[in-house]
Amino acid sequence: MRIFGIDPGSARTGYGCVETDGRRHRIVVCGAIASPALASFPEKLLQIHRCLAELLAECRPDSVAIENLFHANNVRSALKLGHARGVAMLAAVEMGLPVVEYTPAEIKRAVVGYGRAEKHQVQQMVKLMLGLPAVPSPHDAADALAVAICHVHSQTFHRIAAAADAPREKATSWRTYRPVRS
């Protein structure tokens, strides 16, 4: 399964694609889309959309996970972040990919085990989980990989929960008993 994670931002949008078998994760690609400082806001959004569309076509993921807007310092930055999220979602939807959203606390909990973990803790866990020699750079790329890993862990949890809820045949004797394998 391939998951493409996105950490949206108007100045820099992080991306990362992870391939997994459910137990081991492998990085496919990661990086950040940086817009020129002097570009107009619509031009920045267009660049984010175009680059993500190209990356999604190249990586061919099964789904896209994106960080959800949780809070922002002010209304203006929240609106800009919302626009960046919108064009990122549009790129994924145009490719026919399912899009899921996770809050920063959900991502931190899935990757570190603590919803209020600090950024460097998340980056270190991403490095360890993917077996990388160094923390992915820039930090936006590490954050996007964390979003993808969060989705992998969420999917794994849902599969385990579904297997636990699946009806089992009742054993009538020890000879007919078969253990459930997960």
C-alpha 147/C-alpha 150 separation (Å) is 5
- Where are the alpha helices (H) located in the chain, listed in sequence order? 41-59, 75-94, 104-111, 119-130, 139-165
Residue 21 among the catalytic residues: no
Catalytic residue among 7, 21, 94, 143: 7
Residue 7 among the catalytic residues: yes
Please calculate the CA angle 144-123-60 and round it to the nearest 5 degrees.
30
Catalytic residue among 21, 58, 67, 165: 67
- Look up tokens 């954050």; give the residue: 143
Domain-by-domain residue ranges, the chain? 2-165
Its pTM stands at 0.85
CA 43 from centroid of its chain's CA atoms: 25
Residues 12-47: tens digit of each pLDDT: 999 999 999 878 999 999 999 998 889 999 999 999
Question: Which is higher by pLDDT, 171 or 34?
Answer: 34
- 176: confidence class by pLDDT, cuts 50, 70, 90: low
What is the domain class of 2-165 according to CATH?
A: alpha beta
Catalytic residue among 19, 101, 118, 140: 140
